[in-house]
Amino acid sequence: MLEFCPGAYFALGAHMGDNDWRVVLTDLDAQVVERLDVPIPAPTPAANLEALVQGVAEIRQRVPARQLLPAIGLGTRGLVDIRSGVIQSAHEVGWLDVPFRQMVEEALELPALVVNRGKLGALAEVRHRAAEGVTDLVYLSLGAGIGCGIVHDGALYVGANSSAGELAHSTVAPDGPLCPCGNYGCLQALAAGPAIANRARAQLRHGEPSVLRARAGNHPEHITAQDVVAAADEGDALAGRVIGETAGYLGIAIANLVNILNPQRVVLAGPIGLASRLLLERVQQETAQRAMAYPLSAVRITRSALGLDGGAIGAAALVLQQAIDLIFR
Ligand SMILES: [Zn+2]
């Protein structure tokens, strides 16, 4: 008989991107009403905190203070212990045991909820697709690292100590390159942004024509994964081959997930996952070649419907799950 007036209160959520924070305010229905991006000047915990504090101060000005729920949800990189809010490890930037929740709570004087950004993307995506009847979903965020969130029966699956979904460090090539985590042939070492850019640079040295040379001003060391993705979608053969190899590794990992978890959706997100039509097509083909036919018949592989907002909306949704407690506190 009763329901919330969506605009009565606002929830604060933030997503730690590779180079910037996306900070959002959502209404009580998790619809974004304000957003802003704040650049992160250096990949250190302190620089991340400083940028977050700046973004939160700015976005808080945009709504009346009494309508803001007194908490913040955060989606960060790395393996996060959800109970303690400690980032156990984020190998791509060399972080170990960063007490990020404590740092944020001291700086903002607000209770904080800290969860891996891939998990929060998954949470936002399944909320968004609830009307389509989606309850089982795997979310893959592709950028400088690879984040993954698993939703089963409508709820986030976190596992015994919050590490479910560490797909980035599962082996997809036994003799592959050394990963900063210490293992060889991890998915992240072969299919995340730096690996894509490195493979393109290596292939350019053989002299094959490619639009990537001009894009990088004849300095192949400046080529980024975004350059490779864009060139591949424009039909560049060398870039297309690199994206095809990347999709091959992703296809191995996703086919395993399809066989093990039997999801309805696999969602590609993050700056690389969202950017490339070719990558999506090749991942669909590679997964179809490796997954078992019966679980494959139940799954659709698509790009995220929420774009780069996904992680921040999921972070705000953490606050919304506690809305009644926060309103009547
Ligand atoms: Zn690894």
pLDDT in tens, 263-280: 999 999 999 999 989 999
Structure confidence at residue 217 (pLDDT): 82
Percentage helix, strand, coil, to 5, in the chain? 45, 25, 30
For the stretch 197-246, pLDDT in tens is 999 999 998 888 899 998 888 788 899 999 999 999 999 999 999 999 99
**263 vs 290: CA distance, rounded Å:** 15
Q: How many residues does the chain have?
A: 329
CA 177–ligand 1 middle distance (angstroms):
10
CA 88–ligand 1 middle distance (angstroms):
14
CA 273–ligand 1 middle distance (angstroms):
19
Closest of 140, 145, 149 to residue 269, by C-alpha: 140
Is residue 329 over pLDDT 70? Answer: no
Query: Which structure tokens are listed for 127?
Result: 């909320």
- For the chain, give the mean pLDDT: 94
For the stretch 56-96, pLDDT in tens is 999 999 999 999 999 999 999 999 999 999 999 998 899 99
CA 191–ligand 1 middle distance (angstroms):
11
Q: What phi, psi does 74 have (nearest 5°)?
A: -135, 130
CA 176–ligand 1 middle distance (angstroms):
11
Structure confidence at residue 73 (pLDDT): 97
DSSP 245-258: HHHHHHHHHHHHHH
Mean pLDDT score, 138-153? 95
CA 178–ligand 1 middle distance (angstroms):
8
**Which own/partner contact pairs does 233-238 have at CB distance under 8 Å and 24+ positions apart?**
233/275, 233/276, 233/277, 233/278, 236/210, 236/211, 236/212, 237/208, 237/210, 238/200, 238/203, 238/204, 238/208, 238/209, 238/210, 238/212
Structure confidence at residue 326 (pLDDT): 81
Q: Which residue has the higher pLDDT, 328 or 289?
A: 289
Mean pLDDT score, 295-314? 96
Handedness of CA 285, 289, 294, 296 (dihedral sign): negative
**152 vs 119: CA distance, rounded Å:** 12
Q: Which DSSP symbol is given to 177?
A: P
Is residue 256 over pLDDT 70? Answer: yes
Cα-Cα-Cα-Cα torsion 163, 44, 249, 263, nearest 10 degrees, comes to: 40
Query: 1 falls in which pLDDT band (50, 70, 90)?
Result: confident
**21 vs 29: CA distance, rounded Å:** 22
CA 167–ligand 1 middle distance (angstroms):
9
Mean pLDDT score, 96-113? 97
Query: 44 falls in which pLDDT band (50, 70, 90)?
Result: very high
* DSSP H helical ranges for the chain: 45-60, 100-108, 117-128, 187-191, 193-204, 211-215, 225-233, 237-261, 270-275, 277-290, 293-296, 310-320, 323-328
Q: Which residue has the higher pLDDT, 31 or 220?
A: 31
CA 281–ligand 1 middle distance (angstroms):
26
Q: Which residues surround the ion ligand 1 when the cut-off is CB under 5 Å?
A: 169, 179, 181, 183, 186
Mean pLDDT score, 298-302? 98
Is residue 102 over pLDDT 80? Answer: yes
**160 vs 193: CA distance, rounded Å:** 29
